[in-house]
Amino acid sequence: MSILVVGSVAFDTIATPSGRVQDLLGGSATYFSLAASYFTDVRVVAVVGEDFSAEQESVLKKRGVDTRGIEHAKGKTFRWGGQYMENLNEAKTDFTELNVFEKFQPRIPDAYKDSKFLFLGNIHPVLQSAVRRTMDGVRMTGGDTMNFWIQGAPKDLAETLKGVDILLINDGEAKMLAGERNLPRAAHKVLAMGPKALVIKHGEYGATIFFREGAFGIGKHPFRAPALPIEEVKDPTGAGDSFAGGFMGYIASQEEINREVLKRALFYGGVMGSFAVERFGTERLQSLTRDEIEARFQVFRELTHLE
Amino acid sequence: MSILVVGSVAFDTIATPSGRVQDLLGGSATYFSLAASYFTDVRVVAVVGEDFSAEQESVLKKRGVDTRGIEHAKGKTFRWGGQYMENLNEAKTDFTELNVFEKFQPRIPDAYKDSKFLFLGNIHPVLQSAVRRTMDGVRMTGGDTMNFWIQGAPKDLAETLKGVDILLINDGEAKMLAGERNLPRAAHKVLAMGPKALVIKHGEYGATIFFREGAFGIGKHPFRAPALPIEEVKDPTGAGDSFAGGFMGYIASQEEINREVLKRALFYGGVMGSFAVERFGTERLQSLTRDEIEARFQVFRELTHLE
């Protein structure tokens, strides 16, 4: 079933120990769309500037992503520059030029309104809530956020969380959002804010999904998917959004939402994140095959599977 | 089959957010012995001072641990004081009084010489090597070390590593030992120093075992066991030694050493570590049942198991 993602499209300038690239196509909606496109139909709502070329849009179109919801505004596309040096898990931001993204007001095309799955990428929680209200017929809503909104717009974020079924954030964000340093305790506090399930991403250590009791008609025991130990991390940018794309995309491709589907989704999230970091930008996500994805899924499964 | 452990017995003074305790029985050999005692016969070589009471020794004896190798020397027992505050994964050392441990020269009782498994706890690598040479008939040797020896006695440690089949260290130690920040690359460098397998402990994220190609007649693909997300960590002291005790103890209890046994051992390591941190000191490890251990093993297995 179709999934609608709202988020950013950006040009990234990135330095890592493996090299430096400039104005590479990126943004949360881009990574999410590409990753999810291997599982289901994807529709994207975002804003770009006059410097966004047909060639860049074709990266998404080639993967079958519906780009009619990308608004072309006057001005320049959102730009971000950052570097990953010693610690590949954490980016140091060099610059952020919001440009057309500053006044972004997501508009959902009528053709998107029958989407059954919604992903609220990391944008201002007020915009996330507005989109969520427009899409009140969806079966499941996933969401992302970050420290910037947790600290800067806590009330707006609290409102957003009431409309999110599954929140996907990392360890640091979960602890900050809950005001609690113990991870499972933090998870329970976040679940009390609204989401039925919480996916906490641990970077190279995988991810854990925590459930509100009775959510999705399943038990409350958490589930953890490992990540593949990767020797060559070229560029961690977009790993989290690619994770979300694999996770939500797989769920949207299934008939039912049950514990086993959510478990497998967590593995597919890790699989797509692991591909994303192997090359700069979205390169690796542009040319995968479903066979490659399944092969890595099996490697991930084998990684922790007891007979 | 019997396992011989050489390490420290100490009195620990510990402060955590859950409280403060003084002169609690601890030390690497103590935690290791108690954890391993649920799987196999354990023999311990360590040194204590005149302040070590029969009551304290009985903690080990009650678990069937053979304590004839504990040397009673003149002076005081090794004392360590530390606190875990914000970050429960890392201890801040308040004081270290080596006392009788400073001149520790491990002596292996004749009755111990037929031990088939050996664990070299975290002591000076020169002592580890000396013990290893004495026990040249063992089937498998496990070993531990720490930053202090990696930086302070690299040549001695290199010699020790040649005689260790499986090294168990944490992420930071592996990276420091290899001089390499990428974890799988660090693992390969450490394996090139001697061990057939390397267990890297990730604290609350579990542990990964890396294999030298062809080691134990099995493939080289790593295996990862998750840790249980624990809500109530009372005292992390001894978690690593308890992990090692569960890991080595389970291996020693099996007929064969193969991939499946090593995988299960990694889970049992995590299980014993998770019990250890639930109470201060060794309290939880003193009174477990095999049923409790199996039940938690199943929880750990379920945590990442796909149908």
B87 pLDDT band, cuts 50/70/90, is low
- B171 lies within 8 A of chain A by CB: no
> Which tokens go with B47?
């040194």
Spatial CA neighbour of A7 closest among A34, A25, A36, A33:
A33
Percent of chain B with pLDDT over 70: 99
- A172 lies within 8 A of chain B by CB: no
- B306 lies within 8 A of chain A by CB: yes
Name the pTM for this structure.
0.92
Contacts of B224 in chain A (CB under 8 A): 206, 226, 229, 303-304
Spatial CA neighbour of A277 closest among A246, A226, A231:
A231
| Residue in this structure with the two tokens 């460098």, named with its chain if needed | B189
| Secondary structure of residue A126 in the 3-state scheme | helix
Strand pairing category for A3-6 and A10-16? unpaired
Q: Which of A26-30, A109-113, B113-117, B204-208 has the lowest mean pLDDT?
A: B204-208
C-beta of residue A263 within 8 angstroms of C-beta of residue B306: yes
What ipTM goes with this model?
A: 0.86
How do residues A28-62 score in pLDDT, each as one tens digit? 999 999 999 999 999 999 999 999 999 999 999 99
| A-interface mutation test, from B171, B218, B224, most A Cβ less than 10 A away | B224
Spatial CA neighbour of B165 closest among B133, B185, B138, B147:
B138
Q: In this predicted structure, what is the pLDDT of residue A220?
A: 77
- A230 lies within 8 A of chain B by CB: yes
Q: In this predicted structure, what is the pLDDT of residue B144?
A: 97
How do residues B191-211 score in pLDDT, each as one tens digit? 999 999 999 999 889 999 999
Spatial CA neighbour of B300 closest among B215, B222, B216, B243:
B243
C-beta of residue A247 within 8 angstroms of C-beta of residue A266: yes
> Which tokens go with B263?
């995988």
| Residue in this structure with the two tokens 């590409």, named with its chain if needed | A34
Distance in Å, alpha carbon of A6 to nearest chain B alpha carbon: 31
Residues in chain A: 307
How do residues A189-202 score in pLDDT, each as one tens digit? 999 999 999 999 99
Percent of chain A with pLDDT over 90: 87
Distances (CA, A) of A21 to A77, A224, A235, B70: 17, 34, 10, 61
| pLDDT exceeds cutoff 80 at B94 | yes
Average pLDDT for B236-246:
96
- A181 lies within 8 A of chain B by CB: yes
B228 or A96, which is more confident: A96
Residues in chain B: 307
Average pLDDT for A234-256:
96
Q: Which of B112-121, B220-229, B236-245 has the lowest mean pLDDT?
A: B220-229
Average pLDDT for A240-251:
98
Residue B137 φ then ψ, to 5°? -95, 5
C-beta of residue A47 within 8 angstroms of C-beta of residue A53: no
A218 pLDDT band, cuts 50/70/90, is confident
- B303 lies within 8 A of chain A by CB: yes
Spatial CA neighbour of A33 closest among A280, A293, A292, A272:
A272
Q: In this predicted structure, what is the pLDDT of residue A7?
A: 97
Q: What secondary structure does DSSP assign to chain B, as a single string?
A: --EEEE---EEEEEEETTEEEEEEEE-HHHHHHHHHTTTS-EEEEEEE-TT--HHHHHHHHTTT-EEEEEEE-SSPPPEEEEE--S-TTSPEEEEEE-GGGGG------GGGTT-SEEEE-SS-HHHHHHHHHHTTT-SEEEE---HHHHHH-HHHHHHHHHT-SEEEEEHHHHHHHHT-SSHHHHHHHHHTTS-SEEEEE-GGG-EEEEE-TTGGGS----EEE-----S-----TTHHHHHHHHHHHHHHTSS---HHHHHHHHHHHHHHHHHHTTSSTTHHHHS--HHHHHHHHHHHHHHH---
**Alpha-carbon span A295 to A269, nearest angstrom:** 14
Contacts of B304 in chain A (CB under 8 A): 223-226, 304-305
Average pLDDT for A254-278:
95
Residue A292 φ then ψ, to 5°? -60, -40
Contacts of A223 in chain B (CB under 8 A): 303-304
| pLDDT exceeds cutoff 90 at A129 | yes
Distance in Å, alpha carbon of B306 to nearest chain A alpha carbon: 7
How do residues A143-156 score in pLDDT, each as one tens digit? 999 999 999 999 99
Strand pairing category for A10-16 and A19-26? antiparallel
Query: Which residue is closest to A234 within chain B, CA to CA?
Result: B182
Q: In this predicted structure, what is the pLDDT of residue A222?
A: 92
Q: Which of A281-290, B5-14, B163-172, B298-307 has the lowest mean pLDDT?
A: B298-307
Of B183, B187, B229, the CB nearest to A184: B229
> Which tokens go with A218?
């399943």
**Alpha-carbon span A43 to B164, nearest angstrom:** 55
A87 pLDDT band, cuts 50/70/90, is low
A207 or A217, which is more confident: A207
**Alpha-carbon span B170 to A258, nearest angstrom:** 36
Q: In this predicted structure, what is the pLDDT of residue A9?
A: 97
> Which tokens go with A15?
């330095």
- A182 lies within 8 A of chain B by CB: yes
CB contact under 8 A, B304 and A205: no
Contacts of B226 in chain A (CB under 8 A): 206, 224, 226, 304
Contacts of A254 in chain B (CB under 8 A): none
Query: Which residue is closest to B234 within chain A, CA to CA?
Result: A182
| pLDDT exceeds cutoff 70 at A88 | yes
A231 pLDDT band, cuts 50/70/90, is confident
Average pLDDT for A251-278:
95
Strand pairing category for B19-26 and B10-16? antiparallel
**Alpha-carbon span B3 to B36, nearest angstrom:** 8
- H helix or E strand, kind and range, residue A29: helix A28-36
**Residues B47, B53, B59, B60: is their CA dihedral positive or negative?**
positive
A205 or B42, which is more confident: B42
C-beta of residue B245 within 8 angstroms of C-beta of residue A287: no
Contacts of B263 in chain A (CB under 8 A): 306
Of B221, B264, B299, the CB nearest to A306: B264
Question: H helices within A118-162, ranges in order?
Answer: 125-134, 147-152, 154-162
Q: Which of A11-25, A129-143, A225-239, A290-304 has the lowest mean pLDDT?
A: A225-239
| Residue in this structure with the two tokens 């609608």, named with its chain if needed | A4
